Structure 1
Amino acid sequence: MGHEVHTIAGKYGTPLVSLPQERQFTLPNIRFDSREQKWYESQVFPFLQKHPPHITPKRKKIILDRLQFEGKEVANRLFEYVQNNSLDVIVAQNTNAMPMTLLGGMGVYELATQRRVATIFHHHDFWWERSRFSNSHIEGLLGRIMPPTDPGLEHIVLSTYAAHILRSIKRVQPKLVPNCEDFDNPVVKDEYNADFRRELGFRDSDILVVQPTRIVRRKRIEDSIGLMGRLIALHPEIADRVHFIISLYQGDEPDENYIGEIRQMAQGLGVQVHLISDRVASERGTDEGGRKLYTNRDVLANADLVTYLPIWEGFGNALLEAMAAKVPVVTTTYLVYKTDIGILKFRNVEILDVYGDDGHLVIPDQAVEEVYELLTNPAVRQEAVEHNFEIAAREFGFGKLRERIGTILEDYGDEIRASRKRVARSKQAYSV
């Protein structure tokens, strides 16, 4: 859109080739896995520890004082970068919604509220939505900085539900920018990913059902396996062809038992499960052993069906990626799907988010038969994926994203211009 973009991060997982190196700022102590973050987590989030330490009021004050002091140091580094590069506005990606980087959150809070640098907070999920951050020793601090509600700040959320919650709890008026996908350049089969099946040991006739997500409990992967178990029980003629693939890793919500539970359940139902995160990366390449690495999009390009049965999602990025790849989807009607996605009349297999006494999703026979139809009737599949692609491209494509970003920057323009003047004056004062 013509803006000069800089990035600020704790680390870059892979080289960021889209920007010059001089516009990439790295601050290691705001990493999710920094030594500082791990120490604070061990002190203030009891549910993250098997044996949490006892925190006295005096100890709590010491921790808070240290956190705020070190946060101010981060703010100083950030403000220096803002000054040196004459930055007009900061876009804070989830820094002040989830305490995954407490020093990053403190630094951005200080930058936005004390240094008064124009800041747009883009919230994906909120800390009060995660049980592992409940009953913390810093709830008062989190309530103040995650997110802050000072005048002159802008807030963006992913869904109408999140907007309602933020208005109710924080009394702010957030803008809405849903997850979007590049439907102008969608994932397709090409020379690179055409050998995916052969490389991973699948036949051309195999049915690849992909769970294109991280392995975390709220994704309810056990329900996807339950669905596959029902499918092959009702249609045993395709049982040996159905392969259930989980493409990504455990991520930032570790659970040592979950993978074992998934494998045990799949074995009991006769579902062939494949965990392939060691062959999936953010960029194409090779691993240390010289094996070919694929992106999650390459996996989707070879999928016959995507399962997406979460109990909760901030929006549904994997859902959009699947529709962009023209892969049929079976999904639960989770809350945000109901309010922001399902109303657009996609042709997905929709399973109501109703759970039985055993805790598992109630899967009606009709849903199983709809899945079977999509897997075995090419005409039905083609009609569904083309219909979904057309609607999703219109509602969640980059054209809609450019429009929303442009409107937000225009509406926030007065504060950006005022911030630009404040930063310019601070540089003069600093030089004197």
Structure 2
Amino acid sequence: METSFKIAFISGKLGDVDGVSLEVDKWIEVLTGAGHEVFTIAGLYTNPLQSISSDKQFSLEYLRFDSTLQHHYEKMMFPYLTKHPTHLTSGTRDIIVEEMMVHGKELSEDIFQIIQDNNIDVIIAQNTNAMPMTLLGGIAVYNLLSEYKVATIFHHHDFWWERSRFSQNRIEGLLNKIMPPSDIGSEHVVISSYSAHILSSIKRVIPTVIPNCENFGKAAVLDNYNSHFRSDLGFDKTDILFVQPTRIVPRKRIEDSVRLVGMYGRKYPEIKEKIKFIISLYQGDELDDSYIEVIKNLAKSEDVDLHLISDRVSSVRILNNNGERLYTSRDVLVNADLAIYMPKWEGFGNAFLEAVSCRVPVVVSTYLVYKTDIKSAGFDNLEVRDNYDDEGLLKIPESILIDMHQILNDSEKRIQMTDKNFEIGKREFGFKMLSEKLNTLLDSYSDEIRASRRRLQKSKKSYAV
């Protein structure tokens, strides 16, 4: 029986340092390694994908997170995304929704043309029908499933009802229908057992859990390229680098990380001047300029030496227009003395796994999914309980400062901790796990994929010109 398929990933954006882009890269590597042929259809490629040829990377404007139409529909349908919400009558709202459906149908036709031209067997929709950040993309993918009967796997990383900026909206009926849909003939994948429980409760579907993973077989180490990181960015080899390997968004609770670094510097003033706090990534797609100012002002009041280096971080190693080296997130982490990762909410924990693969000790808050899906694996981390005061600030015990100091100054204990975590990560969240789960997923869905292939061939005969 044939076991290889032609698979197309659909996403608003790829080739970046966000969690969705990173996971797609990993899935592509595993799927192509298993003999499948992979294509991508995205609104934007921040960087071209290195794992597949350029002729298999398609771009469609309507899929973009930042398209003119997406910004327009967000402003109309999600009033709390702007300081001055637009007032809409029900009639005007209906007209805009109808227009949106028309554009979504046009996009589905464009995608289906790519599917026909390349004999795609199955599409894997990356968060298009979980987050309304590409509304037209969500409508288009739903049409591909419901109208064109294309075999569809939905890979959900997080959901719109988990984000306050989307929970208040004017299109709840549409979101409930397509984000995500519960139509038969599709498969759903989520990244945590918690998400599986919520989705099965709300939508009455039984999703497959495939957690975030990391390629521990090709883990980053110091090499001739990333060994220039400290000197390139003005850090001394004796500086103590605390790295926050995340984007700058409120749910990452970076203010708690700043407070932690400030507390550590005050407790150990003899090394305070050597401590540098680095935030490696950018704002991403949850723009909030005021939050960046909050972090900068807090760092100043805490007397924390803050470094925002997103302009020197990329999904691939390249030179910028000034001829300067750009580093990957993993390049940054292998130069770190300690990683800090204390979100209040996270879909899983890509940044955590990256730090583990780079053999860096991690200070981590015990956020919900960490407790349900990660902690039980047996990792040895510097944990801060997810206990918040009346002002919403994480309660940081002095004991964590002592633990940090010990791990920074006891090389033997540091090696024991990071080696143990590396082996656990490799076993529980490595590519072997991902390969097994993807093989099982495609095998269980193979009958529908083959049926979709037959329907596609019939459609080409019916509409041949």
Do they fold alike, i.e. is TM over 0.5?
Answer: yes
- Cα separation, 1, equivalents of 2:392 and 2:84: 28
Report deviation, 1:314: 0.2
Report deviation, 1:334: 0.3
Instruction: Pick one of 291, 301, 321 that aligns with 1:268.
Output: 301
Report deviation, 1:369: 1.0
State the match for 2:446 in structure 1: 413
The one-letter code sitting in structure 2 at the alignment partner of 1:384 is: M
Instruction: Pick one of 248, 257, 265 that aligns with 2:290.
Output: 257
- SS of residue in 1 equivalent to 2:372: helix
State the match for 2:57 in structure 1: 24
Write the mapping of 1:92-111 to structure 2, written as runs, cut at 5 A.
Answer: 92-111=125-144
RMSD: 1.0
The Cα offsets for residues 273-318 of structure 1, whole Å up to 9 and x where unpaired, read as 1111111112212222222211111101100000000000000000
Instruction: Pick one of 333, 358, 363 that aligns with 2:396.
Output: 363
State the match for 1:71 in structure 2: 104
- Cα separation, 2, equivalents of 1:266 and 1:137: 38
Moved more, 305-314 or 82-91: 82-91
Instruction: Pick one of 156, 168, 185 that aligns with 1:152.
Output: 185
State the match for 1:346 in structure 2: 379
The one-letter code sitting in structure 1 at the alignment partner of 2:367 is: Y
- Cα separation, 1, equivalents of 2:411 and 2:419: 12
Q: For the Cα contact (< 8 Å) 1:47–1:134, is it kept in 2?
A: no
- SS of residue in 1 equivalent to 2:158: coil
The one-letter code sitting in structure 1 at the alignment partner of 2:130 is: A
Write the mapping of 1:207-286 to structure 2, written as runs, cut at 5 A.
Answer: 207-286=240-319
- Cα separation, 1, equivalents of 2:104 and 2:304: 49
- SS of residue in 2 equivalent to 1:306: strand
Write the mapping of 1:27-426 to structure 2, written as runs, cut at 5 A.
Answer: 27-426=60-459
Report deviation, 1:402: 0.3
- SS of residue in 2 equivalent to 1:330: strand
TM-score (structure 2 length as normaliser): 0.91
- Cα separation, 2, equivalents of 1:419 and 1:277: 42
The one-letter code sitting in structure 1 at the alignment partner of 2:98 is: D
Q: For the Cα contact (< 8 Å) 2:356–2:421, is it kept in 1?
A: yes
- Cα separation, 1, equivalents of 2:291 and 2:56: 40
The Cα offsets for residues 29-69 of structure 1, whole Å up to 9 and x where unpaired, read as 11001111111111111011122211111011101111111
Q: For the Cα contact (< 8 Å) 1:181–1:398, is it kept in 2?
A: yes
Q: For the Cα contact (< 8 Å) 1:90–1:118, is it kept in 2?
A: yes
User: Which blocks of at least 5 consecutive residues in structure 1 are unaligned?
Assistant: none
- Cα separation, 1, equivalents of 2:109 and 2:245: 39
- Cα separation, 2, equivalents of 1:200 and 1:236: 24
- SS of residue in 1 equivalent to 2:41: strand
- Cα separation, 2, equivalents of 1:310 and 1:105: 28
- Cα separation, 2, equivalents of 1:194 and 1:21: 30
Determine what percentage of the aligned residue pairs are the same residue: 55
Aligned residues: 432
- SS of residue in 1 equivalent to 2:364: strand
TM-score (structure 1 length as normaliser): 0.98
The one-letter code sitting in structure 1 at the alignment partner of 2:181 is: P
- SS of residue in 2 equivalent to 1:293: coil
The one-letter code sitting in structure 2 at the alignment partner of 1:230 is: M
Report deviation, 1:269: 1.8
- Cα separation, 1, equivalents of 2:72 and 2:302: 42
Q: For the Cα contact (< 8 Å) 2:48–2:54, is it kept in 1?
A: no
Instruction: Note if 1:428 corresponds to 2:428.
Output: no
State the match for 2:20 in structure 1: none
User: Which blocks of at least 5 consecutive residues in structure 2 are unaligned?
Assistant: 1-33
- Cα separation, 2, equivalents of 1:230 and 1:50: 35
- SS of residue in 1 equivalent to 2:44: coil
Q: For the Cα contact (< 8 Å) 1:300–1:322, is it kept in 2?
A: yes
- Cα separation, 2, equivalents of 1:388 and 1:409: 30
- Cα separation, 2, equivalents of 1:139 and 1:204: 53
- Cα separation, 1, equivalents of 2:373 and 2:54: 38
The Cα offsets for residues 63-99 of structure 1, whole Å up to 9 and x where unpaired, read as 1111111111111111111111111100001110000
The one-letter code sitting in structure 1 at the alignment partner of 2:222 is: K
- Cα separation, 2, equivalents of 1:17 and 1:221: 31
Moved more, 296-305 or 227-236: 227-236
Report deviation, 1:361: 0.4
Report deviation, 1:238: 1.4
- Cα separation, 1, equivalents of 2:53 and 2:298: 48
The one-letter code sitting in structure 1 at the alignment partner of 2:311 is: D
- Cα separation, 1, equivalents of 2:65 and 2:317: 24
- Cα separation, 1, equivalents of 2:65 and 2:222: 34
